Structure 1
Amino acid sequence: MNALIPRPRSHPAPGAVHVPGWLSLDEQRELVTACRAWARGPVPMRHTRLPRGGVMSVQTMCLGWHWRPYAYSRIAHDVNGARVAEFPDVLSELGRRALADAYEDEAAGAAYAPDTVLINHYGEGATMGMHQDKDEKSSAPVVSLSIGDTCVFRFGNTETRGKPYTDVELASGDLFVFGGPSRFAYHGVPKVRPGTGDPATGLAAGRLNLTLRVTGLTG
C-alpha cells in the first residue's frame, strides 16, 4: 500500500483556514460515539423543513441552542417541543484548541466560547446548497470538523452564491475554520464522495460534520 501523501494546510480566503488531518482517529471515533448518543435526544436528529416547504437532504441536530430556519431557540418547537440538550464542555475545549491551532494564536483560542453545535449527517445523495451562517448575533469564527466520507466543500465570497469560490476537499479528520473577513462567506457541499471514509472511525458510511458557533444570545 502506498504511503499517504501529507496534505498541507491552506488558506482559501482571508480568515479561512483548512487544517487536514487535525482530528486523530481516536478523537474521530469518540465523536462518532458521542454523536450517536446525542442523536437520541431529547431533540433527535431530523431532516429540517424549510419555510417554503422544502426538506433538507442532510439530517441535522443541535446542542446548546436549537437551530431552525432562520433562528435559534432553547425549545425545538419545529420538532417535538423539547428543550435542546446542554452544550457539552468537551466541545468547548475542542473548539478552543481548534481555533488556536488554525489561527496559530493561543489567545484567540482561549477567548473562543462556542455555545452551540450543528451536527449534520450526509447520507447517500445528500448535499448542502450555498448559504451564509448569519443567524448568529456574534461574528466569532465558525469551527467545522469532518468525519467519514470526503466531500467537496465550496467556499465562496460574502456577496453572492456564485463565483468566485474555491472548492476544498474535506476528508475525515479535517478542520476548517472561517472568521474575520470570511465569517459570512457563502459556502456549501455540492458533492460527497461515497466510500472514501475509514470504517475505523465507527462511521460505516456517509459524512458527519460538526460546526461550532457562538450565537451571541442569552436566556
Structure 2
Amino acid sequence: MTRYLVQNKEEYDYIAKRLDKQGYKWQGYSLLPNPLNGFPTVIDTGVFKKRVIYDLDPSDYDFKVSDLMKPNKDVIYMTPAEKAEFDELKNNYVTLLGALHEGIWSGALYTRICRNKDYQESNQAQLEFARAWADPDLIVVKDEPRFAYKLKPKFNCVLDVVNKYLSIDEIRVSKPEFHTAEEWQAIDNELKQIFDRVAEK
C-alpha cells in the first residue's frame, strides 16, 4: 500500500484527482468528494488493487501530498522500455516495496536501478523510482540513443573473434547489443580501450 498524508482540502483535491486519473476507486465507485474523517487524514491505496481507503492515524504515512504539490519538481526521464515496465509494475503491485523487492529482477528498470552501480548510485536510483511511484506525472518518456560496440580489429588475433560485440552481462557476444551512454560509462576503462562504437539504435 502507499499512504499519502492529506492536511487540507486543497491537498485532498490534488491527490484525489491524481488517483482517480490512475484508475483508483473507493469501494468500487469514483473517489468521494471529501475525506470521511476531516483533516489531517491519510489516503491509503490499500492492499486491494486500485482501491482507496481512509485511515484515522495521520502519523503513519509514506508521502506528504504537500511535497508532491511543490512547484518546479525535477522530472524523471525514462526510456519507453522503462516506462512500459513501470506501468506494468503499477498494475501488478499495490506497494512500492513489493515492486522493488518482487517485481524488478531483470529488464530495463533492473539495469537502471541495480546493474553496475555502487550502493550510493543504487540508492539514488531507488529514491528516484520511489518519487515516480508516488507521482507518475513526473515521468517524461525520452527515447535516448543506444549504441553497439565492436571489438577493435587489432585485438581479433588475441581474442575470440566470434564473440566480438560488447555485452553488459557477458562482456562479449556474437551479435550487436545496444547500450545507453550511462551503461557505457559503467564499463571498466580497460574494456573501453578495445571496443569501437559501430552502430546506433
TM-score above 0.5, yes or no: no
Higher RCO, Cα 8 Å, sep 6+: 1
Q: TM-score, normalised by structure 2?
A: 0.22
TM-score computed with the length of structure 1 as normaliser: 0.21
Structure holding more strand per residue: 1
**Greater percentage in helix:** 2
Bigger radius of gyration among the two:
2
